[in-house]
Structure 1
Amino acid sequence: MIQAPSSPPTAADPYARRAADCDVMLLLEGTFPYVSGGVSSWVNQIIRGFPEIRFGLCFIGSRSQDYGAPRYALPDNVVHLETHYIHEHLAASRVVRSGGDAHAFERMHALHEMFRRPGADAGEQHQELTALLAELMPLMNDGQALDEDAFLFSKQAWDYLAQQYRSFCSDPSFVDYFWTVRIMHLPIWTLARVARDMIPARCYHTISTGYAGFLGSLLKMQTGRALLLSEHGIYTKERKIDLFQSEWIRDNRNVFEKDASQIPYFRDLWIRFFEALGNLCYQASNHIVALYETNRLRQINDGAPAERTRNIPNGIDLPRLSRLRAQRPEKIPPVLCLLGRVVPIKDVKTFIRAMRTVVTQYPEAEAWIAGPEDEDRAYAAECHAIADGLGLTDKVKFLGFQKIDDLMPKIGLVVLSSISEALPLVLLEGFAAGVPGLATDVGSCRQLIFGLSAEDQALGAAGDVVGIAEPQALANAALALLTDPERWHAAQAAGIARVERYYTQEMMFGAYRQLYQDALGQAGATPQRAALRCPVKH
């Protein structure tokens, strides 16, 4: 039975969920319930699929102004919600002269050296890392030798930064190095506080590595409770894409110093930082879940212990979505629909450019872009400008967030032009609703369209796959499907058969039920808080 939360939601604020403890604490970085998308839909699906489990939610975001109101209603079995912003601008601290604790900074240096030069035995190194973190974490408490003020203002911190800059930095700007290190590391102190104040949970489930995964590692270390990791996309891979596209990372080398074959130092520093956090999470996790085999192998290559990894594909609500097939018109709708956030990783620009060719050859065709535009407003504005510049204002329609059930009967093709995906729910949802898919050759898209095993492939192609950033190829493939009813109906039948055989939510729930039972069984009946002891500061 679900126990009542300590502070149940009120009519005035249905998101005010506070509890003394929970069964599973979900660690959510930039996703549910404040951001819509495939991962958030999956989180919502998992919570509702286990009504007997009391879930807590710990949302980790960048800054409060980057998020609006929650996008999802909280299920009744969410008993606790807390939100934390790791890049929030706080009031300036009062700077106090401080020499700093030499021994504490020496131990911090040892930690950085361990991250910088990983050993051959990842398991043995993780034990050393855990022991060192266990020693350092209490020192990060307010008033202790490595608290936030000591990191920001002590002479030991200044000397350490200067020494690291001279030893490793290949960028000539010490000022940029100084602020990069600060911005990069300050969230660690925020997450340490979050971990110390977290309500007891019987197990922890992080939906990525990164900052959420680091928090999971701290909680595992503090409590001894099981940590589960589910990676939809590989976090470090996606952060690398973001970092290579980012314009805020400085490269101060002059034209004679730059080497096109080398990654600028600050980009490389950020990449190594997220790789270190990812490896720490892999080593701390009891179970590591990927959506498909290629990502599982990548996890192992990135340091995950192979024996703890497994694949659990996404599953969809087949009974609900299959009912939408009856609502479809007899004629194939000439509508290509991209369902996703309007952000660079979805490469919406390529989809819009492809529509110029599609509309020229098939004037009835329309493009619908169904997803929020508020995550990267500058990119969204550029997408609107491209559509206007190509004379597609009446043909490319930006619909904002839409309900899948309302859209699917009205479209002829689900399109993903992304430069990175994992196992996209939207393709599976389209198949279940009777809509073929067209995707770029990323993540598991080829597996979903053409099948994985010989038996799966025998079901046929559920659409088509093209290369990344190839608008002409995307246009040609879309036209080939939409203007050939025989091929389109064959793709529709293949998609329905594939999703019914391999990708139902009952299969997914069964696999996760086993993981949760194992983790909760290890914990026993009563959550406990096992906070690290803080040494007395002398």
Structure 2
Amino acid sequence: MNSAIRADTDKSLRGPSTEPVADIALLLEGTYPYIRGGVSSWVHQIIAGLPEIRFAVIFIGAEQEMYGSAQYQFPSNVTHVETHYLMQHEKQLKPNSRKGNRRAFSEMDELHAYMRQSESIPSEKMINAFSRLGSGGGISKEDFLYSEASWDYITGQYRQRCTEPSFVDYFWAIRAMHTPLFVLADIAAGLPPVRAVHAISTGYAGLLGAMIRLRRNIPFVLTEHGIYTKERKIDLAQATWIHDHNDDVCNTLHDEMGYIRGLWIKFYEQIGRMAYAQASPIVSLYEGNRLRQIADGAAAEKTLVITNGIDVQRYQAALEKRPEEIPPVLGLIGRVVPIKDIKTFIRTLRMLVNERPDAQGWIVGPEDEDPVYVNECKELAASLGLKDQVKFLGFQNMLEILPQLGLMVLTSISEALPLVVLEAFASGVPCLATDVGSCRELIEGRSEEDRALGAAGSLVFIADPEGTAKAALELLNNPPRWHAAQQAGLERVKRYYNDKLMFSSYGDLYAKALDSGLAPARQPSVST
């Protein structure tokens, strides 16, 4: 049902089945090694920076058609790799008449009751639910899809709770939410022995971590770069594949959004809470996200902050290549996706070119994640007469691009701690960024001592091309201010965002996790 692949298919890497194949299993949803970008770069950086740790890479994607070949070459300390897809089309089960396990559905109803009330779920109930999920002793996939017990439960919940008239929409939403859980249960059951697991988000990867923790009683570490639940809320509020009964609230963040849309949001909120309940520690990249995790249900005593870091010396060559004159080039380095708000960047260029005809905007990053949005952005640039000024360069060597930029620009509507800002600072490029995530800390400093270094650029409002163009002009047209921002960024990244600090912190974190999990991982008893 699931595909498990290794780039070199070297079976000797697995070792004896009774021995751990890795120290840490990284649980990765939609990122490394198939998608390039900030999180994937960070994962590769952590693996390469801690060569004494053996890593397993467990990739979870939506559909196989969405991903191409691996974009990274695995370091030698990656000893096991699996690739799984949540929306499997092969080996579809045939419908067949079956009664179903009504006791298991009753237990799931109790679990849902806790979830609806946002209460802490007793561990024994989670263990019962997830250790037997997908088996005959719990709710099997066949029971969920085709049994009388499942039909009675879904129709009963619809009559009791759904406020929209379409049972068809409700039925398929429930199926779409829950069918991937059976894939996760299979991954958790089939994962070879590892000493600890580390999920790099909540969502499905975080829920898989919780399942493995409950089934095997091994340490589960969680790191969130962005807040997954918040980002899914943004995506779901704008999703056109969800059909709200009230079209007036479709595609908004309005409190009165349709029931099905709200159901999806609650689903991601609750699986996030499950991951928080089982993970320890829970890591964020900056204090604002740590507080958000606590507000979303994480226990404060389990949370901590470990900032990102980069190899500053690696960017010395880029710094030395910088021309004496300030290039009138704005660079947006990132995926061409709506959350990066590429359209605001393009509109910024239209306003900037009116004042600086020599200005250019370079969009540097992969374009394969959302082809429809990419096409909309290119059409917008053409319609604004910017074919010669706005360039879509795709994936490029950062060390070649950075010396050619006058400003790094992030127009994102959501960020965590963007590595591209640190890379820009190390290369001598000031930054403009929306006031999201840790961008204020990066540009203005996070402590009194840090702030004394000065601003390494400017903060701008979300979706404000006029304000962003004005801020760009104030830097590009004022060389003393630009050079002061450059020096502030250089000093800040050297002092506070060196990758050696990050490696040390994660090395200590892994050591504690592995020491606490020296006892053999227990395998669950699954009744049939």
TM range (shorter): over 0.9
User: Does 2:227 match 1:234?
Assistant: yes
Aligned residues of 1:61 and 1:85 also touching (Cα < 8 A): yes
Q: Secondary structure at the match of 2:58?
A: strand
User: Does 2:140 match 1:147?
Assistant: yes
User: Does 2:524 match 1:532?
Assistant: yes
Aligned residues of 2:244 and 2:257 also touching (Cα < 8 A): no
Matches within 5 A, 1:216-231: 216-231=209-224
What residue in structure 2 maps to residue 355 of structure 1? 349
Letter of the 2:259 counterpart? Y
Aligned pair in 2 of structure 1 residues 364, 18: CA closer, same or farther (>3 Å)?
A: farther
Task: State the distance in 2 between where 1:96 and 1:291 align.
Answer: 49
Q: Deviations over 1:38-76 (max 9, x none)?
A: 011100110001001110000000000001111111111
What residue in structure 1 maps to residue 286 of structure 2? 292
Q: Secondary structure at the match of 1:140?
A: coil
TM superposition shift of 1:471: 0.5
Aligned residues of 1:357 and 1:472 also touching (Cα < 8 A): yes
Q: Secondary structure at the match of 2:71?
A: coil
What residue in structure 2 maps to residue 472 of structure 1? 466
User: Does 2:200 match 1:207?
Assistant: yes
Q: Deviations over 1:215-236 (max 9, x none)?
A: 0001111121111111000010
Letter of the 2:63 counterpart? R
Task: State the distance in 1 between where 2:250 and 2:159 align.
Answer: 17
User: Does 2:308 match 1:314?
Assistant: yes
280, 283, 297: which one pairs with 2:274? 280
Task: State the distance in 2 between where 1:100 and 1:153 align.
Answer: 8
What residue in structure 2 maps to residue 3 of structure 1? none
What residue in structure 2 maps to residue 86 of structure 1? 86
What residue in structure 2 maps to residue 173 of structure 1? 166
What residue in structure 2 maps to residue 184 of structure 1? 177
TM superposition shift of 1:258: 13
Aligned residues of 1:15 and 1:81 also touching (Cα < 8 A): no
Q: Secondary structure at the match of 2:417?
A: coil
TM superposition shift of 1:113: 0.7
Task: State the distance in 2 between where 1:272 and 1:17 align.
Answer: 40
TM superposition shift of 1:89: 2.1
What residue in structure 2 maps to residue 366 of structure 1? 360
Letter of the 2:133 counterpart? M
TM superposition shift of 1:277: 0.7
Aligned pair in 2 of structure 1 residues 256, 84: CA closer, same or farther (>3 Å)?
A: closer
Task: State the distance in 1 between where 2:125 and 2:284 align.
Answer: 29
Cα RMSD (Å) = 2.1
Aligned residues of 1:9 and 1:17 also touching (Cα < 8 A): no
Letter of the 1:180 counterpart? A
Aligned residues of 1:343 and 1:375 also touching (Cα < 8 A): yes
Letter of the 2:203 counterpart? G
Q: Secondary structure at the match of 1:131?
A: helix
User: Does 2:121 match 1:137?
Assistant: no
Aligned residues of 1:8 and 1:18 also touching (Cα < 8 A): no
Aligned residues of 1:141 and 1:534 also touching (Cα < 8 A): no
Task: State the distance in 2 between where 1:523 and 1:61 align.
Answer: 28
TM superposition shift of 1:530: 2.9
Q: Deviations over 1:350-375 (max 9, x none)?
A: 00011001112111111100011110
Letter of the 1:170 counterpart? T
Task: State the distance in 2 between where 1:348 and 1:144 align.
Answer: 50
Aligned residues of 1:9 and 1:16 also touching (Cα < 8 A): no
Matches within 5 A, 1:416-427: 416-427=410-421
Aligned pair in 2 of structure 1 residues 261, 231: CA closer, same or farther (>3 Å)?
A: closer
Letter of the 1:59 counterpart? F
Task: State the distance in 1 between where 2:251 and 2:390 align.
Answer: 41
Letter of the 1:52 counterpart? E
Aligned residues of 2:240 and 2:251 also touching (Cα < 8 A): no
User: Does 2:371 match 1:377?
Assistant: yes
Aligned residues of 1:138 and 1:144 also touching (Cα < 8 A): no
Q: Deviations over 1:453-495 (max 9, x none)?
A: 1111110110001000001011111111112111110100000
Aligned residues of 2:6 and 2:81 also touching (Cα < 8 A): no
Q: Secondary structure at the match of 1:79?
A: strand
For structure 2, the 5+ residue unaligned runs are none
Q: Secondary structure at the match of 2:87?
A: coil
Q: Secondary structure at the match of 2:27?
A: strand
Q: Secondary structure at the match of 2:25?
A: strand
Letter of the 2:89 counterpart? H
Aligned residues of 1:222 and 1:532 also touching (Cα < 8 A): yes
Task: State the distance in 2 between where 1:225 and 1:438 align.
Answer: 43
Q: Secondary structure at the match of 1:476?
A: helix
477, 483, 504: which one pairs with 1:483? 477
Aligned pair in 2 of structure 1 residues 165, 138: CA closer, same or farther (>3 Å)?
A: same
Q: Deviations over 1:11-39 (max 9, x none)?
A: xx799975551110000001111011101
431, 437, 443: which one pairs with 1:443? 437
What residue in structure 2 maps to residue 303 of structure 1? 297
Task: State the distance in 2 between where 1:212 and 1:290 align.
Answer: 16
Q: Secondary structure at the match of 2:484?
A: helix
Aligned pair in 2 of structure 1 residues 431, 531: CA closer, same or farther (>3 Å)?
A: same
What residue in structure 1 maps to residue 256 of structure 2? 262
Task: State the distance in 2 between where 1:136 and 1:159 align.
Answer: 19
Question: Which has the higher mean CA deviation after the structures are superposed, 321-330 or 510-519?
Answer: 321-330
Task: State the distance in 1 between where 2:324 and 2:394 align.
Answer: 27
TM superposition shift of 1:90: 3.3
Aligned pair in 2 of structure 1 residues 505, 145: CA closer, same or farther (>3 Å)?
A: closer
What residue in structure 1 maps to residue 516 of structure 2? 522
Aligned residues of 1:100 and 1:145 also touching (Cα < 8 A): no
What residue in structure 2 maps to residue 122 of structure 1? none
For structure 1, the 5+ residue unaligned runs are 1-6, 120-124
Question: Which has the higher mean CA deviation after the structures are superposed, 15-24 or 168-177?
Answer: 15-24
Q: Secondary structure at the match of 1:218?
A: helix
Task: State the distance in 1 between where 2:102 and 2:135 align.
Answer: 17
Task: State the distance in 1 between where 2:249 and 2:358 align.
Answer: 54
Aligned residues of 1:419 and 1:440 also touching (Cα < 8 A): yes
